[in-house]
Amino acid sequence: MLSAALRDGTAHRSCAFEVFARRLPGGRRYGVVAGTGRLLEALTRFRFTDAEVASVAEFLTDETLDWLRDYRFSGDIDGYREGELYFPGSPVLSVRGTFAECVILETLVLSIYNHDSAVASAAARMVSASDGRPLIEMGSRRAHEEAAVAASRAAYIAGFSATSNLEATRRHGIPGAGTSAHAFTLLHTDADGPDEAAAFRAQVDALGVGTTLLVDTYDITAGVETAVAVAGPELGGVRIDSGDLGVLARQVRAQLDSLGAPTTRIVVSGDLDEYAIASLRAEPVDVYGVGTSVVTGSGAPTAGMVYKLVEVDGLPVAKRSAHKESRGGRKRALRLARRTGTVVEELVTAADAPVAPTDPYVAREVSVPLVRGGDVVDTGTVADARELVASGLTSLPWEGLGLSRGDAAVPTVFS
């Protein structure tokens, strides 16, 4: 495409591309935009090295190779801030510049947005299902090694409290947390058999009594008794990773209380998703450890966002083929809310259309400038994004937080 467009001169036409999701996966009520910060950081590094250019020399013209060598995005980007909720059709990103400089960003933009938004969207449902209890992201082993780091970041933005991925703590400043694995308990085995007390003692010696001990390697009741015997009643927590977590949490709570350890917390983990988390609301669980389901988007591992050309030299353009129509022209989004703050509608209009009065609703412009002339003008922080998710969730009508399949929390209206 790039070679052909450079050859016939259309590569230099002024274009606008928009990113949006045609639908939300699995009857969900809302999505969470994530990846903005990572995209802006990646954009500044998005150049082609000599080795990269050489690798495509075989099938591209010299003109194209020169263009790639000099590539630097010099256009403008507007978009929803990271952490903003989105709905079907929400124009979450608008990328403007020449055709060539914009089209070459498609895979970078979509890879980051589709992955990070998929994780954040699933994670936000788990956060609302947890009813205020902390969640630790522990899914690194179930995701590609680099995707895992991005997933930790996205889960934190959505409201998770911490991650077990140390690279995410280093790279993105996400708080770290974790417990030990069964291997550590099993390691403390000798010719006389397993010695769970030795494992617990080693952990407490190294990390203090505030640590969390994994008590289900052998027998949970014996494990809890040993844990309190070793650490004393100030033991920080115990983790249960298998079995009927609700029943076990109740038994362990009663046992801890009877052992004089009422402040020892119960951490549960093991194939938790938003539904399992919700089902444990009435149980004495203090912390959830969530792995596979959060890093894989809980059944929706990609957000399904697309990157579509909507305007060429000021003319709106749109595909007309069945089932995949798009709406031409640059767009803006206004989020309408009642005076109480509850949102009622995502209003999408032509970018340059005058805004009609929205009374009695309050209208908020959702997009902000992110890049001007190739320079990043608004990055935002992970903390900002996390606050935005939290406030977004409280702005939804009550049915918008439902876990069951349903319509989007608010309608998207194209005007």
Task: Give the Cα separation of 241 and 269 in Å (integer).
Answer: 5
> For a second copy, which is the closer residue by CB, 252 or 366?
252
Per-residue buried b or exposed e for 82-109, using 16+ beta carbons within 10 Å of the residue's own CB:
bbbbbbbbbbbbbbbbbbbbbbbbbebb
> For a second copy, which is the closer residue by CB, 279 or 391?
279
Taking CB under 8 A as the criterion, the residue among 170, 281, 338, 364 binding a second copy is: 170
Using rule CB under 8 A, residue 309 touches a second copy: yes
Site for a second copy in 269-308 (CB under 8 A): 270, 292, 295-297, 301-302, 304, 307-308
Options 89-97, 110-118, 260-268, 397-405: segment touching a second copy (CB under 8 A): 110-118
Q: How many residues does the chain have?
A: 415
Site for a second copy in 136-155 (CB under 8 A): 140-148, 150
Site for a second copy in 63-102 (CB under 8 A): 99
Using rule CB under 8 A, residue 8 touches a second copy: yes
Options 81-89, 197-205, 277-285, 347-355: segment touching a second copy (CB under 8 A): 197-205
Strands (E), 226-312: 237-240, 265-269, 287-290, 305-312
> For a second copy, which is the closer residue by CB, 186 or 282?
186
Taking CB under 8 A as the criterion, the residue among 197, 312, 363, 376 binding a second copy is: 312
Choose among 362, 354, 305, 357: nearest CA to 332. Answer: 354
In the complex, the smallest distance separating the C-beta of residue 134 from a second copy, rounded to whole angstroms, is 18
Task: Give the Cα separation of 356 and 135 in Å (integer).
Answer: 43
Using rule CB under 8 A, residue 115 touches a second copy: yes
> For a second copy, which is the closer residue by CB, 26 or 341?
26
Using rule CB under 8 A, residue 23 touches a second copy: no
Choose among 276, 213, 222: nearest CA to 251. Answer: 222
In the complex, the smallest distance separating the C-beta of residue 361 from a second copy, rounded to whole angstroms, is 34
- Residue that has been written with the tokens 């969390």 in this structure: 212
> For a second copy, which is the closer residue by CB, 168 or 351?
168
Options 125-133, 134-142, 353-361, 384-392: segment touching a second copy (CB under 8 A): 134-142
By CB under 8 A, how many residues form the interface with a second copy?
90
> For a second copy, which is the closer residue by CB, 17 or 160?
17
- Residue that has been written with the tokens 């100030």 in this structure: 234
How would DSSP label each residue in 166-199?
Answer: HHHHHHH-PPB-----HHHHHHSEETTEE-HHHH
Site for a second copy in 255-274 (CB under 8 A): 270
β-strand partners of 371: 77, 376
Task: Give the Cα separation of 153 and 116 in Å (integer).
Answer: 8
In the complex, the smallest distance separating the C-beta of residue 231 from a second copy, rounded to whole angstroms, is 13
Name, in order, each residue with C-beta under 8 angstroms of 398's C-beta and a sequence gap of 6 or more: none
The two most distant CA atoms of the chain are separated, in Å, by 81
Site for a second copy in 49-68 (CB under 8 A): 51-52, 55-56, 61
Taking CB under 8 A as the criterion, the residue among 36, 117, 152, 217 binding a second copy is: 217
Site for a second copy in 378-407 (CB under 8 A): none
Task: Give the Cα separation of 414 and 371 in Å (integer).
Answer: 26
Options 8-16, 228-236, 383-391, 400-408: segment touching a second copy (CB under 8 A): 8-16
In the complex, the smallest distance separating the C-beta of residue 6 from a second copy, rounded to whole angstroms, is 8
What phi and psi, each to the nearest 5 degrees, are found at residue 294? -75, -40
Taking CB under 8 A as the criterion, the residue among 90, 121, 203, 212 binding a second copy is: 203
Taking CB under 8 A as the criterion, the residue among 13, 133, 250, 372 binding a second copy is: 13
Contact 230, 204 (CB under 8 A): yes
Using rule CB under 8 A, residue 197 touches a second copy: no
Using rule CB under 8 A, residue 168 touches a second copy: no
Site for a second copy in 313-342 (CB under 8 A): 313, 315, 317-324
Task: Give the Cα separation of 40 and 73 in Å (integer).
Answer: 11
Distances (CA, A) of 206 to 116, 199, 200, 225, 415: 35, 11, 10, 20, 62
In the complex, the smallest distance separating the C-beta of residue 351 from a second copy, rounded to whole angstroms, is 18
> For a second copy, which is the closer residue by CB, 187 or 376?
187
Choose among 258, 311, 104: nearest CA to 250. Answer: 258
Choose among 42, 112, 154, 76: nearest CA to 307. Answer: 112
Using rule CB under 8 A, residue 220 touches a second copy: yes
